[in-house]
Structure 1
Amino acid sequence: MVTTPRSKPTPKAARWNNALAGTPDPREIRKRALIAAAGRTFGVKGFHNTTLDDIASALSVTKPALYRYVKNKHEILYECHRLAIGMAEEALATAQAEGATALDALRLFVSLYIRKMTSELGTCVVLTEYYSMTAQHNALIQQRRRVVDTELRALVSRCIDEGAIAPCDPKLAVFFFMGAINNINRWFTDKGETQGDAIAEAFADHVIHGLRPLKVSKRSNR
């Protein structure tokens, strides 16, 4: 008697994107997984076209399961922004603590912040969409952004004082590199040719080289 081999069952998608393995705080990890999945879904479909059903599907859970962590889509949008500004705050604190000079700290901040954003938030293009948040949520995010902005301007001023970069307007310098960094999520994909670590190093190099004083070669008059 010939027996036919049984076909292997199709593996089921991991619930919560397998974010619970070995974590001491499942609720917080689930919430971060929700935010990351929502950010990626917003990036594909747009904030206004994305439903909670879409986000639940991306996490392989039911929509009622989402209500244990967020009330609605606008709260998810706020959490995306809150996670992003938290990453900036963490990166800046680490850079200021570990950077031997102001220039080292600035480069380290750029690299760390981009690594954090690309590894967890990915294509979360809604980070540039402030007006879809509630007025209360927007005020909270903007307050924290102003603190980071002030500290970055002070860091650029230190770089100038130490002679590491050319004299410039610190406000415009911060606008220059933070504008570039915050737009990475518009085009970055983890399936692309260039991964987050490489992008972080390239952007850090571009920021530093862009702010350093130009070496003017002396040419003899003929």
Structure 2
Amino acid sequence: MKNKPARWNNALAEVPDAREVRKRALIMAAGRVFGTKGFHNTTLDDIAQALSVTKPALYRYVENKHEILFECHRMAVAMAEEAMAQAQQTATAPLARLREFVALYIRKMTSELGTCVVLTEYYSMTPEHTEAIQRRRRVLDSELRALVQQAMDEGQIAPCDPKLAVFFFMGAINNINRWFTEDGPLAGEQIAQAFADHAIACLAPVRKPGRKPGSEPC
């Protein structure tokens, strides 16, 4: 006899905080369904089916799918904030901190968010949710720009516009979940290291004959 799918994807009641664990399981499952069907084509019935629970059971944790979308973005921002805090503590040089941030953030995204691709559905959130996420993203963006500026000031990278530099590598990072799959050819750790290398390589000055170090464009 074929086993039935585990309810709540094995987010069991025995854990210390079952509500938070189950809500997280809901968010993760919903993100995967959104990725398959698209946010606007997904219903709460689809999400309930993915978790092997009833639709009314979902209302104990969220009011609607817009709240789920907000929670997906909130989780992603929290991961980025945690990655930045860790990077600031584990590395001293600004360029090393940038590389550590990129690797840590991608590692968290691919291991915890997995195939949750709704980060590309940014403008499907409600205005209130969008503003709440934007506030936190602006803080993170300022910290990243400051690291790029410090790296320039210390001669580690060529002169460039910190705003555009951050837009460049963060845009690439935030699109990973559009194509990443947990059973794909590359593991999250491999992607994290490769993207960290690429991000730093794009910022590092290219020394050409006849040019002084640091004089090349970004």
User: Normalized against structure 1, the TM-score is what?
Assistant: 0.90
Which is greater in Rg? Answer: 1
Distance 1:21 1:197 in 2: 31
> Can you give the 5+ residue segments of structure 2 that lack an aligned partner in the other structure?
212-218
Query: Hey, what does 2:187 align to over in structure 1?
Result: 195
**2:159 partner SS:** coil
User: 1:207 is aligned with what amino acid?
Assistant: A
What are the equivalent positions in structure 2 for 1:124-139 lying under 5 Å apart? 124-139=116-131
Separation in 1, partners of 2:78, 2:37: 25
**2: CA distance, partners of 1:22 / 1:213:** 54
C-alpha distance in 2 between matches for 1:22 and 1:172: 47
Q: How does 1:49-128 map to 2 (within 5 A)?
A: 49-128=41-120
- Give the Å deviation of 1:22: 6.5
Query: In the alignment, does 2:158 pair up with 1:181?
Result: no
Query: 2:209, 2:57 → 1: CA distance?
Result: 65
Per-residue CA distance 1:107-144 (angstroms, 9 max, x = gap) = 11001111111112122222122221111111111111
User: C-alpha displacement at 1:218, in angstroms?
Assistant: 5.5
Question: What is the letter of the counterpart of residue 146 of structure 2?
Answer: A
Whether 2:6 is the aligned partner of 1:14: answer yes
Give, in whole Å, the separation in 1 of the partners of 2:156 and 2:57.
52
C-alpha separation between the residues in 2 aligned to 1:46 and 1:60? 20
Root-mean-square deviation (CA), in Å?
1.6
- Cα distance in 1 between the residues matched to 2:24 and 2:103: 22
Cα deviation, residue 20, structure 1: 3.4
Aligned residues: 211
Structure 1: where are the runs of 5+ without partners?
1-8
Q: How many percent of aligned residue pairs carry the same amino acid?
A: 72
Deviation of 1:21 after TM superposition, in Å, equals 7.9
